[in-house]
Amino acid sequence: MRRDADRHHVFSRRAALLAGGKFVLFSALGARLYYLQVLESERYKTLADENRINLRLLAPPRGRIVDRFGAPLAVNRQNYRIVVIPEQAADVEATLDSLGRLIALAAGDRRRTLREANRRRGFVPVTIRENLSWEEVARVEVNAPDLPGVLIEVGQSRDYPHGPDTAHVLGYVAAVSEDEVGGDPLLQLPEFRVGRTGVEMTYDANLRGSGGSSQVEVNAFGRVIRELNRREGQPGAEIALSLDLELQRFAHRRLADESGACVVIHVHSGEVLAMASTPSFDPNPFNRGLSVEAWRRLMANPRAPLINKAIAGQYAPGSAFKIVVALAALEAGVITPKTRIFCSGEMTLGDSKFHCWSRFGHGWIETAQALVESCDVFFYEVAKRTGIDRIAAMAERLGLGRPTGIDLPGEEGGLVPTREWKQAVIGGAWQPGETVITGIGQGYLLATPLQLAVMIARAVNGGNTLTPFVTRPPVSADADEVRVGAGDAEFVTLGFERANLELLRRALSGVVNAPEGTAHRARIERPGYEMGGKTGTVQVRRISRAEREQGIRKNEDLPWEMRDHAVFVGFAPVHEPAYAIAVVVEHGGGGSKVAAPIARDVLNEVQRRAPATRLLGERRDDGRQGTRSSVSPAAEGG
């Protein structure tokens, strides 16, 4: 009995301990459940919602780019793309075969689609092709029952409606590279594009806008069930340019198949009204993704279609530089309007002979007439008397030798040689013969077409500074301000003697309008539209004595790459200058024969259209102050 009682007590203690242990465990479990279900309920509800609801970033529409009158230059168009959902298509390869009988599918698109379909989850759409035409979309939609898993989606794509005509100014957009992503979530979107060159690059931050968002409900596998909320992004700012689209197209087509550039600016405001560079390229494929073959063709083209020659092409200015030499000598008092120098057709300096373009010379010739007939010997002698230091200082005052400050990327600064530059870069002392050839715009001198346009503008606008520009700061939609027009910057005088500037203007008018002028055949005959200017023919190789004696036609008888560059700088109208132009045609031959006629036609067109005057008038009508302008009634009447 006693043994049974002892066993009963032991069993009771064990049962009590076991019951106590269970009570403790269930109490802890209950406490944990209370903690999770009551105290932490909101937190886990939030976590569950976050797993159920995905927040997706939406790319904003890129801001438009328009010309000075609001004509669209860069816009966004609907981008129809075709996608396939692998789990619905079952056999993706067979679906692609069926689709290939309806629309064109490149072998690369097929390989990429199959590769991505194998890598991703079956319900994730895979893009097959973008930028479908409406006809292709219609064919796919009509045959949709026979294409399981194939869908048409609509997005936005950058479009340049005028393609090559505006490519170098606008630039283009392209996909974001991996090293650019950084911490900006917008840059991580596969369809997002950033500016690479031109205005697209300069104002990329303004054009991007701000992203939107979309809340979608997903299941445990990540499949989208429905969209709960959507907030569209803020479109990028609209950028308005100083360009006149029709004038831009005219200048581009007037250059035609030549390799070169044409720049038109307003001589008082600095507005760039046209900036053409040829050959050009179509910027639209860069947005879609340029093929390797197309890129190689562009890079292999010896005429460099990707380079904006207006701001990055550097050329010796040739006889157009005589404007600088003449003004430097006049301002320094080295010569006067009555200075006469005898031209026999050549000048001797030491053991070297420097030839004039006129084989038999010009005889006794005065300053203005030397510009009209472009006498080389006259400017050899004037450059020698003036010296490289004063010539270089004048060139810099007129805008050469450094970037103009235009709001476009990739501008080159050109080169105005000095004694210090030669010693530092080449070594050795400056030689008198180098001053002589600088006097006719050859030697080490380099300038861009835009710099040449600024040079002639400063020479004929009364001797005032100006900075060229193609864009104005972005303006919000509700801002009470005219978007584009002549700049409002204060002008700084360069301090030239008015008599010297007047002599220069008359001489440059004679270059075109006097019968003996080098560009007389390219004159504008319409009254009130007459232009002035200076021709230039730039040698790209040394002419041997044998060639000179044999009278070889140095341009027509040579390969294209060995021919002279053709240069013309000009302005119009001559009685009250408003527009300045610079034309450079690579290996085009004579400036009077090739470049001057192009400038004539473009200046005639710009005066007919009078874009700066029209816009200035709009500003005055709106009650706002316009920029100082000397546009004549004849120019306004175009």
Active site residues: 319
DSSP structural state of residue 210: B
Q: How many residues does the chain have?
A: 638
CB 559: neighbour CB atoms within 10 A? 7
Backbone angles phi, psi at 252, to 5 degrees: -65, -40
The contacts of residue 554 (CB under 8 Å, 6+ apart) are 543, 547, 563, 564
Spatial CA neighbour of 509 closest among 533, 473, 493, 528: 533
* Residue 260 near residue 588 (C-beta atoms within 8 A): yes
b/e per residue 271-302 (b: at least 16 CB within 10 A):
bbbbbbbbbbbebbbbbeebeeeeeeeeeeee
List the structure tokens of 163: 């393609």
* Residue 131 near residue 81 (C-beta atoms within 8 A): yes
Alpha helices in 417-538 (DSSP H): 419-425, 432-438, 449-460, 498-513
List the structure tokens of 299: 């890079």
List the structure tokens of 636: 């306004």
* Residue 64 near residue 209 (C-beta atoms within 8 A): no
278 to each of 97, 251, 576, 594, how far by Cα in Å? 42, 10, 31, 15
List the structure tokens of 125: 């759409």
Instruction: Specify the residue for token string 């500074």.
Output: 465
The three-class DSSP label of residue 486 is coil
List the structure tokens of 433: 């013969």
317, with CB counted inside 10 A (0-12, 13-18, 19+), is buried
The three-class DSSP label of residue 36 is helix
CA–CA separation, 149 vs 127, rounded Å? 12
